[in-house]
Amino acid sequence: MTKAFRNFIRSNLRNSMQITLKHLSSPRKDGHILLLFKNEDFSSTYFTKEEIAFIKSELKADKKFVAVNQYNRMVYLQQMETEKKNSSQRLEMARKSGATQFSRLQAGKLEQITLISTLAPDLVLAYGEGLVLAGYQFLKYRTGKKKEEHAVKTIFIHSKGLTEKEIHQQNILNEAVFKARDLVNEPQSFLNATEFAKQFTLMGKQAGFKVQVLNKAKIKQLKMGGILAVNLGSIQAPTFTIMEWKPKNAINKKPVVLVGKGVVYDTGGMSLKPTPNSMDFMKCDMGGGAAVGGALYAIAKAKLPVHVIALVPATDNRVDGDAYVPGDVITMMSGKTVEVLNTDAEGRLILADALHYAKRYKPELVLEFSTLTGAAAAAIGPMGIVCMGDVPDKTRKELHDAGNHVYERLAEFPFWEEYDEWIKSDIADIKNVGGAYAGAITAGRFLNHFVDYPYMHFDIASPAFNKSNDSYRLKNGTGVGVRLLFEYFKNLSRK
Ligand SMILES: [Zn+2]
């Protein structure tokens, strides 16, 4: 690759256009209308007698959706069943329904629409969320991007009980999810470890949080042996990004630290991965880093009164003359020695140094996100997030509640110390792979050797990247983790 070409493709990461939600205190009568209602309780003010008769007969025939073409505008009616399900399922149904509505607006090339609803405010907001998130596009590398860009730009919302602030926060969150998706979708040809850190610096400027990037010299000085070992096979330097949001009105005395895996590309190293269904999507191996960076972006931009620090160790994992090999013993930043038996279990090596580094903050809690194991993916697929750890019951409940609310549900695995037997090494303190069973858990137990604080590990190996389309989560990078974290901190701030 020539230098000019490399510079050309390293043009700045640009977000695709984002649909904006706008609060309306009184309903507009002009423009396209979308009525969201339950039972048969739709507002008749927008229709002629004939239209009302038509709508009623459609609803009677059990149609949940009716479109009325009034020539100068479209009026859509969406009936939502709000019974039968629990609140978490209802919200998810609303998001999915919003995503379906996005396709209709897009098919009609509508630029804006007014959403008027008598439903509960949280359902209306979830519907808007699904609609916006379904409108994400990653067109940076498309030469015909102007033509491909979605038409939909603005959704006006009139809903009793839904505040301007809630809509504002939702816009911020949507933007943060888009940023995380952008980062995951960027190929390694643009997003190497240095560029990843640069993007966090940019996000810090935009949202108002502090960013410090440690370069390779500093990483060496700190003796971050895990990061340096993984980086041996790369000609690109590693980075270690420290992001901090510390508002004056923070409600927590000790910070919460987020840690995210930043393997910008994973070949597996000498324990090389096969290409199909494996190495071919390994640009997503920094999904944890994208999640914590995206979350901090939303937290800072929404000015939540919480002191949060995010750490992202980053490198690619490659094959080269000096690459680390199975059998090597490395000394981690903490001083612990690790026998490397598989160079594809690299995430835990770079995370271990970051988790050790986190001790200096005496954190109240550490939440770490990583696309860590195929075992987690095999266990529950993309339906949720595998998590495990040792946190107070109250925190555990708050995390699960947040996960249910945003439908980034948590499947908690056991964290029994007996699993430590399986990562004992013959010649070093521990080894970086366990046996044939419980691979997600032995990975978590490995990381547990480097913490001395309440800690929860989130394995997002499967939900971080979709190989086929899934409603508002779409295909490719999903930005999973951002919504979960924002919800968790938003709830903490309310107390
Ligand atoms: Zn790997």
Query: What's the pLDDT tens digit per position in 177-203?
Result: 999 999 999 999 999 999 999 999 999
Give me the catalytic one of 73, 223, 273, 359. Answer: 273
Statement: residue 317 has pLDDT above 90:
yes
Report the separation in Å between the CA atom of 345 and the middle of ligand 1, taken as the mean of its atom positions: 5
Where are the extended beta strands (E) located within 30-145? 33-37, 65-69, 74-79, 112-117
Mean pLDDT computed over 346-357:
98
Task: Give the whole-number percent of the chain exceeding pLDDT 70.
Answer: 97
Range name among 32-36, 385-389, 479-483 with the lowest pLDDT average:
32-36
Mean pLDDT computed over 464-476:
97
Mean pLDDT computed over 407-423:
98
Question: Residue 10 has what pLDDT?
Answer: 45
Q: Count of alpha carbons within 13 Å of 98, Cβ hemisphere only?
A: 28
Question: Residue 130 has what pLDDT?
Answer: 98
The CA angle 325-339-452, to the nearest 5 degrees, is 130
348 counts as catalytic: yes
Greatest CA span in the chain, whole angstroms?
84
73 counts as catalytic: no
Give me the catalytic one of 348, 409, 483, 490. Answer: 348
Range name among 13-17, 166-170, 236-240 with the lowest pLDDT average:
13-17
Which tokens in the block code for residue 419? 């699993």
Statement: residue 84 has pLDDT above 70:
no
Report the separation in Å between the CA atom of 260 and the middle of ligand 1, taken as the mean of its atom positions: 15
Question: Residue 9 has what pLDDT?
Answer: 42
Report the separation in Å between the CA atom of 147 and the middle of ligand 1, taken as the mean of its atom positions: 38
Q: Where are the alpha helices (DSSP H) in 208-361?
A: 216-221, 225-231, 287-301, 347-358
In the three-class reduction of DSSP (H, G, I as helix; E, B as strand; rest coil), residue 268 is classed as coil
Report the separation in Å between the CA atom of 221 and the middle of ligand 1, taken as the mean of its atom positions: 25
Question: Residue 114 has what pLDDT?
Answer: 96
Mean pLDDT computed over 409-424:
98
Report the separation in Å between the CA atom of 348 and the middle of ligand 1, taken as the mean of its atom positions: 9
In the three-class reduction of DSSP (H, G, I as helix; E, B as strand; rest coil), residue 308 is classed as strand
Question: Residue 3 has what pLDDT?
Answer: 57
Report the separation in Å between the CA atom of 285 and the middle of ligand 1, taken as the mean of its atom positions: 8
Statement: residue 5 has pLDDT above 70:
no
Distance CA 133, CA 115 (A): 16
Report the separation in Å between the CA atom of 277 and the middle of ligand 1, taken as the mean of its atom positions: 14
Mean pLDDT computed over 370-395:
97
Question: Residue 15 has what pLDDT?
Answer: 54
Report the separation in Å between the CA atom of 287 and the middle of ligand 1, taken as the mean of its atom positions: 13
Sequence letter at residue 79: Q
Statement: residue 225 has pLDDT above 60:
yes
Report the separation in Å between the CA atom of 261 and the middle of ligand 1, taken as the mean of its atom positions: 11
Range name among 11-15, 215-219, 236-240 with the lowest pLDDT average:
11-15
Question: Residue 42 has what pLDDT?
Answer: 86
Question: Residue 346 has what pLDDT?
Answer: 98
Question: Residue 7 has what pLDDT?
Answer: 47
Distance CA 119, CA 85 (A): 15
Report the separation in Å between the CA atom of 249 and the middle of ligand 1, taken as the mean of its atom positions: 40
Mean pLDDT computed over 411-435:
98
Statement: residue 16 has pLDDT above 90:
no
Report the separation in Å between the CA atom of 26 and the middle of ligand 1, taken as the mean of its atom positions: 53
pLDDT band at 146 (very low <50, low <70, confident <90, very high): confident
Structure-derived torsion over alpha carbons of residues 297, 299, 305, 310, reported in degrees to the nearest 10: -60
Which tokens in the block code for residue 16? 């695709």
Mean pLDDT computed over 329-356:
98
Question: What structural domains and CATH numbers belong to the chain?
Answer: 3-162 (3.40.220.10), 173-494 (3.40.630.10)
Of 444, 399, 446, 449, whose CA–CA distance to 256 is shortest?
399
Where are the extended beta strands (E) located within 11-164? 20-23, 33-37, 65-69, 74-79, 112-117, 154-159
Statement: residue 14 has pLDDT above 90:
no
pLDDT band at 40 (very low <50, low <70, confident <90, very high): confident
Distance CA 371, CA 285 (A): 6
Report the separation in Å between the CA atom of 434 and the middle of ligand 1, taken as the mean of its atom positions: 14
Mean pLDDT taken over the chain: 94
Strand partners, 430: 338, 424
Task: Identify the DSSP state of 189.
Answer: T
